[in-house]
Amino acid sequence: MSKVYHLPIQFVMQGVERFVLSFIHTADVHLDAPLHMLADRYELRQDDVRRTLQTIRDLVVSRQVDFWLIAGDLLEYHGGRRATAVFLRDLFESVAPIPVCIAPGNHDPWRADSFYQTMDWPGNVYWFTPEWGVYEFPEKSCVIYGWGFGQPHVYESPLATFPGKLDGYRHHLMVLHGTILNATKDEHQPYAPMSLQELVQADVDYVALGHIHKPEQFVHPLKKQPLAAYPGSPEGLTNKETGERCVLHGELDDAGKLTLQAIPVSQRQIHKWTIHAQGAETAEQLIAGMEAQLGRIADRDLVYVTLTGERAAHFVPSIPVLEQRFSRFFLFAITDETWPDIDAQKLMAEDSIWGKWLAKLAQIEANARSEEEREIARQAKQEALARIGGSMR
């Protein structure tokens, strides 16, 4: 399949013409994902995600890229709303004639009853299905290959059935959703697992990946340039997806040299902080210490704080008070893991229920057979001290 679109970017360097193929690569948008932990902020965050997609659209248009590559988990199959699908349809139509190439993932599989198949989409939208697809763009001397999930669970490598490259084209791109084995440790399940060696053997210029929400690039062992990459989620979804969230802008010249640039696009950043109580005796002391660390964070951002460390036994932090004092943030969530400054040894020497409790936990920690068991015993001790301290208010 092919259509005529604008030619790749042309440069003239010292009398020599050089053509550069360019693209924007994103993945793991997860529109309409059921993020229940956001409570009354849910719809506002969904609006953030839509605005982030509009920001990406503006990049596609302003940079006049040749392709917009989307590597899966775009619109949730379970819970995705028709209004959101219509938003996507209009968004993609607004970049025509630039091709939008989409490989469905495990959260948005190519199902007969999905919006991907039950709605009419603009002619510049190209879908990849559970059978390998090939779209040819002769005017760009480029072929784009892709494969999409047909069901939520795929445990085999799609590259095992890759039919190979087409002859007669200068550039070869691929769009895939799946897990690169031996990549950075992540809690995502290894759906559609692939090895780096399989990617090398596919012999394409670039593989636009999705599934892992943490940005990561994979270097070709011989060419010493990016072969494949995860751009990461463009808008943070959980408190694990902190900092700037980006898309990738790629440029591929006629000599096969590929450069990638990460471009921030998120509306808000997520921050995750562990703050030490430092012996705080009052709410005011604790808040002053927290302000010193959180003061530079933008009010529009989401902040997740874990309080830890020793505090005065007579002082127990009030979560509602802290939430109110830091309500300037778009979202502020706090977990209290502090413990009181109680002399545990002195308590254990006394013949009291508290002392016996602490002594038992100390014995469990001493007899632990692994570091994991010791850590559990330490956490139990901290919880016991917190409860003891709470009784001393």
From 32-41, 86-95, 360-369, 383-392, the region with the lowest mean pLDDT: 383-392
70-116 pLDDT, tens digit each: 999 999 999 999 999 999 999 999 999 999 999 999 999 999 999 99
> pLDDT category, 14, cuts 50, 70, 90?
very low
Spell out the domain ranges in the chain: 9-264, 270-390
In this predicted model, what pLDDT tens digit does every residue of 111-140 receive, in sequence order?
A: 999 999 999 999 999 999 999 999 999 999
Query: For residues 224 and 244, what is the distance between their CA atoms, to the nearest angstrom?
Result: 26
The answer to whether the CB of 93 falls within 8 A of the CB of 49 is no
Superfamily of domain 9-264: Metallo-dependent phosphatases (3.60.21.10)
- Range in 24-28, 293-297, 374-378 the model is least confident about: 374-378
- Quote the percentage of the chain above a pLDDT of 70: 92
**pTM reported for the whole predicted model:** 0.84
How sure is the predictor about 354, in pLDDT bands with cuts at 50, 70 and 90?
A: confident
For the chain, the C-alpha Rg in angstroms (whole number) is: 26
pLDDT tens, position by position, 31-49: 999 887 788 889 999 999 9
Count of alpha carbons within 13 angstroms of residue 80, beta-carbon side: 22
